[in-house]
Every structure is written in structure tokens, then in C-alpha cells.
Amino acid sequence: MKVTVSRKAHFNAAHRLYRPDWSSEQNDAVFGKCNNPNFHGHNYDLIVSVTGEIDPVTGYVMDVKILKDFIKSEVEDAFDHKNLNLDVPEFKNLNPTAENIVVVIYNKLKAVLDQHLELEVTLYETPRNFVSYDGK
């Protein structure tokens, strides 16, 4: 009897999409306005979903307060009100596309969650563009 428990969170950050080994023209051609050298930014919304058996003692798959604390320590404290390219080590050499950000968040949360729990992370870059990753 596996149930999925989901928690929404959010963080605000600046970023720029580009490859330092490409010319400005090549970056503009592929990344368009997202290649502004002065950065732009987003309110990122996050849905973290963990799947597992219900504990018959508590009725919880996992205490959502603990999940909320993990999201705070692993994601919000690290990314909120930051410049992803300049302030976040994971993106020093990794282009902070939504796809790459969601994989980084998945890996950070996977490392601290109970091993028997399945994990899926959905990241909204804008209300109309979002990505999700479940480790497969």
C-alpha cells in the first residue's frame, strides 16, 4: 500500500544560460534572452514527492515537517535569493537550465532521505514551464 506524499516549496534566484566555451553569437543563437550577461531571474516553485508504505503506527509515509526541513536545508538555504551561476557551487561548471537544476535538487534530497523512499522532483521555472525528474 504505497502512497505518495508531496510538499510544495519555492525559492527566488537569478541565473544566466550560456556556455563559457562558446562565442556570444553562438550563446545568443541557442539561449536567446536567457543569455543576458547581467542575468535575469525567476520565482522557482518546487514539488517534492516521496513514495513509500504507510507506517501503521503513525499513519504517515513520512512526517511532512521533516520533509519540509530537508527542503529548507538542502534547497532553500542553498538557492534562495542567490545567483545560481555565481553563488551555488553545483553550477560553477554546469549550465543552470531547469533540467540541470531539477537533477541537482533530486540528488541533494536523495542523499538525505530514507533509502527505501522513492523520490520525484518537479521544478517550475515559470508558471508555464516546468520539468520533473524521478531518477530514472
**Which amino acid, residue 118?**
E
Residue 51 cell numbers, joined = 513514495
Kindly state the number of chain residues that form the binding site for a copy of itself, as judged by CB under 8 A.
60
Residue of 15, 74, 120, 125 with catalytic role: 125
Residue 108 found at the interface with a copy of itself (CB under 8 A): no
Q: What is the DSSP letter of 26?
A: H
From the number of C-beta atoms within 10 Å of its C-beta (0-12, 13-18, 19+), residue 53 rates as exposed
Residue of 20, 23, 25, 38 interacting with a copy of itself (CB under 8 A): 38
**Cβ–Cβ < 8 Å for 110, 135:** yes
Contacts to a copy of itself by CB under 8 A: 1-10, 12-15, 17, 19, 30, 32-34, 36, 38-43, 54, 57-61, 63-65, 80-83, 86-87, 94-100, 102-103, 126-133, 136
